Amino acid sequence: MNIQTLLEKIRKPWIRRVSYDAARGAGVRENFEKELARFFSLLEQAILTGDPSWIDPLLFDWANSPTESDLAEGQQNLSTLVARASAFTFDVAKEVLAPEEALELLSATSAIYSYALSKSARYEADTRVTYVENELRNIQNKLEQLDRSKSNFISVAAHELKTPLTLIEGYAAMISEMVNDDSASQLLEGVRGGVRRLRAIVDDMIDISLIDNSLLSLNFQPFWLNQSLGLLEKELHSTCISRQLTLEINSFDGDGQLIFADPERIYQALRNVLINAIKYTPDGGKITVDGRMLPGFIEVTVKDTGIGISLEDQLTIFEKFNQLGEVSLHSSSKTAFKGGGPGLGLPITRGIIEAHGGTIWVDSEGCDEKTCPGASFHILLPDRSEASDPKVEKLFATEMASLKTKNKP
């Protein structure tokens, strides 16, 4: 008996068996039986022609028709269905056909089913990959939208806060001139101190908003690193004395070399890194500033004997509003051990350094308040001998990325 006749004998019982196994509900089963009949016809054509690709279009359609929940759960319904269809072909053939006929039919269908299983797995994998890519794209779009909203909020909030701060500062000064009482003057000085601190936070918010929107402008001038480092040493001297910290700023190749940069912004960036080192170095510790010349760059390193930074935090420390440790346990002082802050200092520093065409990164063995492994911040600044051309900023940034990896000690 030929294969076509054998297939016709098992066609109806096979469709009935598979539909009852895979579909629930009369309406669903009726539609599914039509699809199974289509599959069986293509299976028959594939066997008769010896070309298993006859079933490809149907498998492709089935692979692209799962529900969102099926895709989210990673279910492989098509592969399961083909495997069950193969098993029922074996069962129905044993029940309906003679042993010799069943063996002949199974021999003819096994290769086709094997091909169908392989193809089903590939189609399902492609469908799954497409689903995951779309989900990731949607998540990325939402994150970008959220980041834009945060940047817009920071910008609006910072500018709106400047006006009432100016009013408070002005009225406090006027009251101070009108009142001669010492106790009132002390209270007003406390108000002015709070205003100064809040103004510093607002200024940081404006800076981070400018950086986020690529609007940070730089005033390139002749500049010597050792001058900024010397000024920082004087500014932070009293803080280090009160904390019993040793601040050691060494001379190094390049610190006295004339380069072009924005002195105020570089000073701000270096100050933020030193303040961070002071905050996370216990009393009695040491902070060392050193550096070296590299091809096309000057490297500045700030090394401390502080509590260190965990590997996980090293990936996020330069993100805005990121703070190490439990915020509720932070001191309210910016220079006290584990002092608080809005978490904008290092993100601003990164924005300033990258705007110059440089880069910054941190090395640390981890975070441990008992052993204090410390941390080393590395800053690469382009060694420019003339004022910067905005058109070549991106070239410096590209070179910096490769040099960072090559020249890490």
Is there a contact between 340 and 256 (Cβ–Cβ < 8 Å)? Answer: no
The pLDDT tens digits of the residues spanning 150-172 come to 777 777 777 778 888 888 888 88
The pLDDT tens digits of the residues spanning 309-363 come to 998 888 888 987 766 655 554 445 667 777 777 788 899 999 999 999 999 999 9
Same domain, 158 and 19: no
Q: Categorize the per-residue pLDDT at 214 as very low, low, confident or very high, splitting at 50, 70 and 90.
A: confident
Residues spanned by the domain of 172 = 153-212
Is there a contact between 59 and 123 (Cβ–Cβ < 8 Å)? Answer: yes
**How many other C-beta atoms are found inside a 10 Å radius of the C-beta of residue 181?**
9
Same domain, 189 and 239: no
Same domain, 324 and 243: yes
Q: How far out from the chain centre does Cα 229 lie?
A: 33
For residue 169, tell me if it sits in a domain. yes
For residue 247, tell me if it sits in a domain. yes
Task: Return the closest-CA partner of residue 165 out of 155, 176, 173.
Answer: 173
Retrieve residue 104's tokens: 């002949």
Domain count for the chain:
3
Q: At residue 92, what are phi and psi to the nearest 5 degrees?
A: -65, -40
Q: At residue 358, what are phi and psi to the nearest 5 degrees?
A: -110, -165
Predicted pLDDT at 394 = 47
To 5 degrees, how large is the angle CA 65–CA 71–CA 77? 60
For residue 11, tell me if it sits in a domain. yes
Q: What is the DSSP-derived secondary structure letter of residue 331? A: B
Residue 274 has pLDDT above 90, yes or no: yes
The pLDDT tens digits of the residues spanning 97-145 come to 888 888 988 888 899 999 999 988 888 888 888 888 888 999 988 888 8
Same domain, 385 and 358: yes
For residue 148, tell me if it sits in a domain. no
The more confident residue out of 69 and 365 is 365
For residue 326, tell me if it sits in a domain. yes
For residue 95, tell me if it sits in a domain. yes
Same domain, 89 and 161: no
Percent of the chain at pLDDT > 70 equals: 86
- Which of 99, 120, 141 is the endpoint of a domain? 141
CA distance 359 to 382: 9
- pTM listed for this prediction: 0.59
Same domain, 246 and 175: no
Q: Categorize the per-residue pLDDT at 68 as very low, low, confident or very high, splitting at 50, 70 and 90.
A: low
- Which of 80, 106, 141 is the endpoint of a domain? 141
Task: Return the closest-CA partner of residue 409 out of 319, 330, 294, 306.
Answer: 294
Same domain, 264 and 317: yes
Is there a contact between 313 and 173 (Cβ–Cβ < 8 Å)? Answer: no
Q: Which helix (H) or strand (E) holds 297?
A: strand 297-304
Task: Return the closest-CA partner of residue 92 out of 24, 28, 40.
Answer: 40
CA distance 54 to 50: 9
6 residue type, one letter: L
For residue 147, tell me if it sits in a domain. no
Same domain, 130 and 243: no
Same domain, 231 and 281: yes
Same domain, 385 and 254: yes
Same domain, 191 and 310: no
All residues at 6 or more sequence positions from 277 whose CB lies less than 8 Å from its CB, including other chains: 287, 302, 304, 306, 375, 377
Task: Return the closest-CA partner of residue 92 out of 2, 1, 23, 20.
Answer: 20
Same domain, 254 and 402: yes
Query: Which position has the token pair 């319904």?
Result: 77
- Which of 141, 165, 199 is the endpoint of a domain? 141
Retrieve residue 202's tokens: 């607002």
